[in-house]
């Protein structure tokens, strides 16, 4: 980390290389951390695995999305930790010290954008870039008490980025201040392509049922009332023809198939050390057949068509960001995997659609942050950012 002591294990200890930025622009004066899956000229892109870091030379060119932030005045201060090859959402990487969740130090930060969330929540960076394949922005945002947007799939180009599952991968970011958050969105997103105002909140009972217990339901109910006051109407309910578990299975198979396509050659040839959980997920990914991939892809397309027919242009889906607060760092691998499956069932919804979803830090449960989310149609990203800011301000 450049110029500041990192006590939160948020940043990686790479040798400093010059990263010029503009002295002017909407982000001038703001510091920037970047998840270690994005190329920064002169820096390695380790992707959370030390063997991968050694296997590839430092980047010759900065990823265009990151360069846009530098050109807008943001000052790069270092690359942030990520879960290994981004194939996790807990925030614990076997190869590095655990990032510290300043909002709940005994609990994980969430991942895979773990270091980016830790850096912003701990006041080390004004802005930190992450990514979201299946919750890697939304989970850390909920766990650490931050705003976090999963952007419309394909809206921000991912050139110069280590992939995991290209049909789901998206860029996202954290910022402590909602005005700064909106400025980043202006730089990276341009104008929304979805023009209809999102004025009609809706819910899905099967997604709300992913909440863990009574305390979570009470905390979620409080947040829901705050959101509903903004819209001045009670949400209607939409019904799904398939269960969230079935939808997650489509997501899981497609993600695994693509993850092996992306990382399988490196894993096969380099035989890298993979941490617990990540190793087992890649073992599973190796075995996904073309037929299983095609069946899951058909299920995904069917879901997209059915949900688009249900969802009017002015609707916004309100749903839990996560089933509960961040897991404790002392949790067993079995407990973490159990949490992960419930949580990913929630987050897979937006990924399958390719639509934007923002987590809003409105609540607490078990003395730790707990977020609520808004999901809108493709291209409504900046409107979701504005809605989140208005809800947070009570307007």
**pLDDT of residue 4 exceeding 80:** no
* 374, pLDDT greater than 70: yes
Q: Is 88 a catalytic residue?
A: no
Is 112 an active-site residue? Answer: yes
Catalytic residue among 21, 79, 88, 112: 112
SS3 36: coil
* Catalytic one of 35, 79, 183, 329: 35
pLDDT in tens, 19-43: 999 999 999 999 999 999 999 999 9
Quick one: pLDDT band at residue 395, thresholds 50, 70, 90? low
Rounded alpha-carbon distances, angstroms, from residue 28 to 70, 121, 126, 128, 239: 9, 20, 11, 15, 46
Q: How confident is the model at residue 1 (pLDDT cuts 50, 70, 90)?
A: low
pTM of the model: 0.97
Residue 375, strand partner residues = 317, 357
Which one of 136, 142, 321, 380 is the catalytic residue?
Answer: 136
pLDDT for residue 340? 92
35 catalytically annotated: yes
Domain boundaries, the chain: 31-189, 200-244+289-393
Distance (Å, whole) CA 364 – CA 229? 19
Whether the per-residue pLDDT at 3 is higher than 80: the answer is: no
Architecture field, domain 31-189: Alpha-Beta Complex (3.90)
To the nearest whole number, what is the mean pLDDT of the chain? Answer: 97
Residue 333 — very low, low, confident or very high, per pLDDT cuts 50/70/90? Answer: confident
Work out the average pLDDT over 193-210. Answer: 98
Determine the 3-state secondary structure of 374 from DSSP: strand
3-state secondary structure of 160: coil
């Amino acid at each position: 980390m450049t110029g500041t002591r990192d006590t939160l294990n948020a940043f990686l200890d790479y040798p400093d290389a010059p990263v010029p930025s503009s002295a002017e622009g909407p982000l001038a004066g703001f510091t920037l951390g970047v998840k270690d899956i994005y190329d920064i000229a002169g820096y390695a892109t380790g992707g959370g695995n030390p063997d991968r870091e050694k296997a590839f030379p430092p980047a010759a060119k900065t990823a265009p999305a990151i360069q846009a932030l530098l050109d807008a005045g943001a000052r790069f201060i270092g690359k942030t930790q990520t879960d290994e090859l981004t194939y996790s959402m807990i925030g614990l990487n076997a190869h590095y010290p655990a990032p510290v969740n300043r909002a709940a130090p005994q609990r994980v930060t969430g991942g895979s954008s773990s270091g980016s969330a830790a850096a912003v929540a701990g006041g080390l960076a004004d802005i930190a870039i992450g990514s979201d394949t299946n919750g890697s922005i939304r989970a850390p945002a909920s766990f650490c008490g931050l705003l976090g947007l999963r952007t419309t799939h394909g809206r921000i180009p991912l050139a110069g980025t280590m992939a995991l599952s290209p049909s789901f991968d998206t860029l996202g970011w954290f910022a402590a201040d909602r005005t700064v958050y909106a400025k980043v969105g202006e730089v990276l997103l341009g104008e929304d392509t979805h023009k209809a105002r999102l004025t009609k909140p809706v819910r899905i009972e099967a997604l709300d049922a992913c909440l863990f217990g009574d305390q979570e339901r009470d905390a979620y109910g409080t947040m829901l009332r705050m959101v509903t006051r903004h819209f001045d109407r009670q949400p209607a309910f939409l019904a799904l023809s398939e269960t969230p578990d079935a939808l997650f299975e489509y997501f899981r198979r497609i993600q695994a198939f693509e993850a092996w396509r992306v990382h399988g050659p490196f894993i096969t040839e380099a035989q890298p050390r993979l941490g617990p959980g990540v190793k087992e997920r890649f073992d599973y990914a190796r075995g996904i057949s073309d037929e299983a991939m095609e069946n899951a892809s058909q299920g995904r397309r069917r879901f997209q068509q059915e949900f688009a027919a249900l969802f009017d242009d002015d609707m916004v889906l309100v749903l839990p960001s996560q089933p509960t607060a961040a897991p404790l760092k002392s949790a067993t691998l079995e407990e973490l995997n159990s949490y992960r499956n419930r949580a990913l069932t929630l987050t897979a919804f937006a990924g399958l659609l390719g639509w934007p979803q923002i987590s809003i830090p409105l609540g607490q449960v078990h003395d730790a942050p707990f977020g609520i989310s808004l999901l809108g149609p493709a291209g409504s990203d900046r409107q979701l950012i504005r809605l989140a800011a208005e809800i947070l301000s009570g307007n």
